[in-house]
Amino acid sequence: MIKSLYVKVVVIFLSAVLLSIIAASLLINRMYVGQLQSAMQDSMITSGKKIIQVYEQADGDHLDALMNGISSLPFYTIRIYDNGGNLLYMSNEVTSGQIEKDAAHLEAVLEGAVYRSDFHDRERGVSIGLPFSGDGSPKAMFMTPDLKGSLGMVAGFLKSQLLFILGFGSILIIIAATFIVRPLHRLNRATRRMAKGDFTVSLQTKRTDEIGQLTRSFNEMARELGALEAIRKQFVSDVSHEIQSPLTSIKGFTQALKHKQMDEESRMRLLDIIEEESDRLSRLSGDLLQLSTLEYEHFRLDPSRYSLDEQLRRVVIAHEPQWAAKNVQLDLDLLPIKIVADEDRLSQVWSNLIINSIKFTGSGGHIAITATEQGNQVVVTIADTGVGVEEEELLHIFKPFYKADRSRDHKIGGNGIGLSIVKRIVDLHYGHIEVSSLPGRGTTLSVWLPLVLSKPEL
């Protein structure tokens, strides 16, 4: 089996050329050889009639001279037969086989018929038979072109030409295949580098064909993987820090409880801190497990019909302690909407988005939540007057493990996984999220969902 693309290209080209030559030869033989034979026979009949005319006008003294002159024709063999089937003259030597072929049609020609050899009769070749009258009795003249020499020359020329075409074409395809395969070799080397973790690889190209498009797609993939790898490393660093911090606190306060004498109030304060740090670890592991579950290929939603506006009100009420503590004004503008979706999963979506808005909205800020129907979709919009997000960060906020710089403040909290969970749940519902934000002026998130959970037509 051929494994090299370079060899495959060359072999395919040469095979295509050979098959084209064979197909063209068969087509030409079928379409044009018959026409060529008919044209040759017409020309031979015209020439034969002229010879017969000269023969009939000549007297006996000049017949030998006439036949000698005819025999000097280089491309024809002429045979003249009398009424009894006897060979009177022949311009060139002929084989007994040719005389036998003439005899098969001699009677018909002597009776006045014009004979033309059949196109499909390859053994008899191209020949004609003409009747005429001489010395008061019927005679027959057969003509056969002697094409061996000329056909040999033509065949030799065609063979030489085809060999030249094959040779010259092979050289050109070998050169062309080099230019075709070279960028693929570069892509292969770059892919191996990227497989080893080098995402800085980039290939330059000016091509606009499919290989150029593939090269640009590779560069884009390398950039995306590089960005994802940077996010992963940052996530590992952040998670390690977030895990290490509560573990250190838990260990330190546990040792203090074991080895120090303290009053009940101090002991309870340390226990409360240990409980809070344990809750932080639990939330982090829970978010990681949830994201992993949602990314599972065979994960299935549990859709049901319920009231979306009532669900949003319940989520807002559940988080009243958080927005009330910051004196945030929260306005609802919700139309009565029935939706078929996974109620528990969408409850996670609204909870995550509202918590995020509360986190990044300062004291005395404002959050507006609206829900409307547009065609066969529902649009839920959550707009806040918080700190906003930089434009370059909007491209990454839904990527797994990404956290904007300001969110790393431990007073705000969070582990950078919440929005990834939101995006995955919305995708599973065949919806999408739109985000707009201005630093210092707030953020608006719009979630578009179908009223009935079903895969959209492509």
d(CA 437, CA 442): 6
Looking at residue 97, its pLDDT comes to 73
The two tokens of residue 232 are 């992963």
Contact by Cβ (8 Å): 332, 313: yes
Q: How many Å apart are CA 397 and CA 146, to the nearest integer? A: 88
Identify the CA nearest to 202 among candidates 180, 175, 226, 182: 226
User: Tens digit of pLDDT per residue, the chain (458 long)?
Assistant: 555 666 777 777 777 777 877 777 777 666 655 676 677 778 888 877 877 777 766 655 555 656 665 655 556 788 888 888 888 877 777 777 778 888 888 888 888 898 888 755 555 567 889 898 877 788 888 888 766 555 556 666 767 777 777 777 778 777 777 777 788 788 888 888 888 888 888 888 887 777 788 888 888 888 888 887 887 777 677 667 667 777 887 888 888 888 777 788 887 888 888 887 787 777 777 777 766 666 665 677 889 999 999 999 999 998 888 888 889 999 999 999 999 999 988 998 999 899 889 988 888 899 999 999 998 999 999 999 988 888 777 777 877 656 555 444 444 555 567 788 888 899 889 999 999 988 888 899 999 999 987 765 54
Helix (H, G, I), strand (E, B) or coil at 444: strand
Which pLDDT belongs to residue 295? 63
Q: State the Cα–Cα distance between residues 327 and 324, nearest whole angstrom.
A: 5
Structural domains present in the chain: 32-146 (3.30.450.20), 210-294 (1.10.287.130), 304-450 (3.30.565.10)
DSSP secondary structure letter of residue 452: B
Q: Which amino acid is at 296?
A: Y
User: Given the DSSP bridges, would you call strands 115-116 and 128-134 parallel, antiparallel or unpaired?
Assistant: antiparallel
Residue 44: how many other CB atoms lie within 10 Å: 21
Q: Are 389 and 443 in contact (CB under 8 A)?
A: yes
63-71 vs 33-57: helix crossing angle, rounded to 10:
160
| CA–CA dist 350, 94 (Å, integer) | 104
Bridge pairing between strands 76-81 and 87-90: antiparallel
Inter-residue long-range contacts of 94-101, CB under 8 Å, 24+ positions, other chains counted: 94/144, 98/144, 101/127
State how far the alpha carbon of 248 is from the alpha carbons of 245, 253, 273, 450, in Å. 5, 9, 12, 47
Cα Rg for the chain, rounded, in angstroms? 48
Tokens 């290929």 -> residue: 297
pLDDT of residue 390: 81
Q: pTM of whole model > 0.85?
A: no
